[in-house]
Amino acid sequence: MSTQDHVSWSTVASRGASKKVLRPLPVSAETDFQFKLKSNTLFHHSELDYQIMVRQAASIVKQALTPGSVLFSFPASLLKHRTEAYELIEDKCGAVQGFRPISNYGTRSAGEFMVEVKFVMPTSTTKAITHGVSYKNLLFKGSPSVPSGNNTLVHVKMTLLRIPDKDTFLADLKRSLRYYGKVYQVKEYTCGGYFEGELSVILDTSAGYIDASGDKVKNEPLTNNLYLEEWDCFASATFKGAPTVCHWFRLAGHARSKCPDLAKTKCFSCHGSGHTAKFCKKKNLGVTELPV
């Protein structure tokens, strides 16, 4: 079901902001142990590993990579010295302006040697990305650098509040999520082999999407309630940097301590406002106020 042709995104966003953010109740430890959630990858973009690598490199050097550069990653155990990688890259791809050993600026716990390469000719850059280099029967392809400001992949955990059609589920989900970013991975979680609506997705929120007019526009900001156009419904979502959700009223945008609804609530113990008897401090101190 598609609604974007006649409903503005501002209307969709206001609908989502007014909805309560639903979360499943925690399951007991005994049940969790017996029926531990298992993940199953439904979709994995072929470029995801490269995209992650580029963003890790930018994180290590605390800035974007050199525009037009290429990033290579080799198992550290494969090389006696990093200059072996330099010789291999230049020999197979073409003349190089310079190298920057990214691994020298960060930890080596992963056992990977990462190096940024700036070629003299654009054709060498293309060759490094499309053909890569071979060494000891292993193929290593370069990954293009990510422009400044576009170096964030967001891992989103979602709870579908409906039962989707299994045959078209993945395609419908990817079409719906295009408003928020380019989908690089989709995982479903099952309990005892049964899907209960738990998902995780990896999105590039800077990729943009094509609107109804054929123009490329910026992605919509992520929220705690993600609108899924194909099903005309909202999914509960959590991600790093997500708006705070009030545990009392279950609306995003404020903490429980700032909840306007809770401020109107009366305590049956001290007859004050802004809390319930369960969280009454005066009750815990043994102080009780009689009604006037």
pLDDT in tens, 170-205: 999 999 999 999 999 999 999 888 999 999 999 999
What CATH number does residue 85 fall under?
3.30.70.330
Spatial contact of 170 and 224, defined as CB atoms under 8 Å apart: no
Based on the domain organization, do 156 and 136 belong to the same domain?
no
pTM > 0.75: yes or no = no
Q: Clarify whether residues 212 and 99 are in a common domain.
A: no
Query: Do both 124 and 197 map to the same domain?
Result: no
Q: Tell whether the model's pLDDT for residue 37 goes beyond 90.
A: no
Indicate whether 232 belongs to any domain.
yes
CA count, 13 A, side-chain hemisphere, 93: 31
Looking at the structure, do residues 86 and 138 belong to the same domain, yes or no? yes
Looking at the domain assignment, is residue 181 inside a domain? yes
- The reply to whether 244 falls in a domain is no
Quick check: 16 and 228 in contact, CB under 8 A?
no
Asked whether residue 203 is domain-assigned, the answer is: yes
Residue range 95-154, pLDDT digits in tens: 999 999 998 887 655 688 999 999 999 999 999 999 999 998 899 999 888 765 555 789
Q: Rounded to an integer, what distance in angstroms lies between the CA atom of residue 235 and that of residue 24?
A: 12
Domain end among 144, 160, 195: 144
Cβ neighbour number for residue 138 with a 10 Å cutoff: 11
**Same-domain pairing of 125 and 156:** no
Distances (CA, A) of 273 to 259, 269, 276, 290: 12, 10, 8, 14
Same domain, 155 and 224: yes
**pLDDT tens profile 5-19:** 557 887 887 787 777
* Residue range of the domain that includes 292: 259-292
Into how many domains does the chain fold? 3
